[in-house]
Amino acid sequence: MTLKKTYHMKLTPQRLAILEYLEGNKAHPSASDIYKAVSEKYPMMSFATVYNTLDTLRGKKHVRELSIDSQKKRFDPNLKPHHHLICLECRAITDVHRNFALDLTDSERFGYEITGNHVDFYGVCPKCKRGRRSKI
């Protein structure tokens, strides 16, 4: 009952498997990452179900869709406002939990009504740094 109250949607086995995979997942997975993982348990699972479920989860604000990767959408079950630290070599994404109060001047605002901001930090992750060194 408690899950049902949390999610306000029918909790089918497929959806539960997807939710379980997403729960606490910090990897910012793509639809195909999710499909691959979940279809090991549920081989009959369809790709369409992954997309449908992500769509309703997004509609109910249980996941956020990221456009960090220009190849594919990635999804984030972490709804707390946060920012990202992105490895330019392997595209790994790490969360940064901090609030940046960034203000724009009137002339920078161009008449927009501003509702939020998101910061991407770019760099090289420790793994890729090690990889580089070993190539020298």
Any idea of the CA torsion for 62, 68, 74, 79, to the nearest 10 degrees? -20
d(CA 95, CA 68): 13
Give the dihedral sign, CA 23/26/31/37.
Answer: negative
| 22 part of the interface to DNA, by CB under 7 A | no
Selection from its own copies, DNA, none that 36 binds (CB < 5 to 8 A by kind) is none
x/- track of binding to its own copies for residues 37-66 (CB under 8 A): ----------------------------xx
d(CA 7, CA 134): 47
Selection from its own copies, DNA, none that 88 binds (CB < 5 to 8 A by kind) is its own copies
| 99 part of the interface to its own copies, by CB under 8 A | no
CB closer to its own copies, 5 vs 98: 98
At 87 the three-state DSSP class reads: strand
Residues that bind DNA (CB under 7 A): 4, 9-15, 30-32, 42, 44-49, 51-53, 55-56, 70-73
